[in-house]
């Protein structure tokens, strides 16, 4: 599912702009990375908060994609409802974000993929580290996935 997750990530213009790369997306677990582009930095030269939001969104979506088959996503609209970011250190250089879906999220997605429900709402939780392994950000994103008729 890593290759399929990369296709979904690249379909989002912000992810293409930030050059988000899916390193791994398997069975509800995902790891994505990006290099901090100068065009996305803030006044102190670290990744702007909007760039961190892109990374948190992308890794959550990759984890979601990793739970289904490619055909499960036909007609599914995934949207974020709320994002929380906690900045711990300046985010510079190569950044890696990881996300593992919790049991309730997996149950909601299983229900959506099976057709038992036409909506799924849950949160993803993410950690972002720099190339030294230092934790630079914690984030969460509340998702709403809806099946189109």
Domain of 126: which CATH number? Answer: 3.10.129.10
- Decide: residue 121, CB within 10 A, 0-12 exposed, 13-18 middle, 19+ buried: middle
9-62 pLDDT, tens digit per residue, is 999 999 999 999 999 999 999 999 999 999 999 999 999 999 999 999 999 999
What is the total count of domains within the chain?
A: 1
The pTM for the full model equals 0.94
Q: How far is CA 118 from the centre of its chain?
A: 21
95-135 pLDDT, tens digit per residue, is 999 999 999 999 999 999 999 999 999 999 999 999 999 99
Q: How far is CA 7 from the centre of its chain?
A: 13
Cα–Cα distance between 63 and 6 in angstroms, integer?
Answer: 11
Which residue would you say has higher pLDDT here, 73 or 81? 81
When pLDDT is averaged across residues 49-76 and rounded to a whole number, the result is 93
**Per-residue pLDDT at 131:** 95
Domain region containing 41 = 2-147
Inter-residue contact 107 to 62 (CB < 8 Å): no
Inter-residue contact 46 to 37 (CB < 8 Å): no
Is 78's pLDDT higher than 90? yes
Is 74's pLDDT higher than 90? no
Cα–Cα distance between 65 and 67 in angstroms, integer?
Answer: 5
């Amino acid at each position: 599912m890593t290759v399929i997750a990369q296709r979904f990530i690249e379909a989002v213009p912000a992810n293409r702009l930030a050059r988000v790369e899916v390193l791994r997306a398997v069975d509800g677990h995902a790891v994505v990375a990006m290099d901090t582009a100068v065009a996305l930095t803030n006044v102190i030269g670290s990744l702007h908060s909007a760039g961190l939001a892109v990374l948190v969104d992308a890794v959550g979506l990759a984890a979601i994609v990793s739970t289904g088959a490619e055909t499960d996503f036909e007609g599914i609209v995934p949207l974020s409802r709320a994002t929380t970011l906690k900045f711990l250190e300046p985010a510079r250089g190569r950044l890696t974000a990881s996300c593992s879906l919790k049991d309730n999220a997996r149950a909601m997605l299983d229900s959506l993929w099976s057709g038992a429900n036409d909506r799924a709402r849950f949160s993803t939780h993410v950690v972002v580290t720099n190339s030294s392994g230092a934790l630079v950000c914690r984030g969460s994103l509340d998702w709403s996935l809806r099946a189109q008729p």
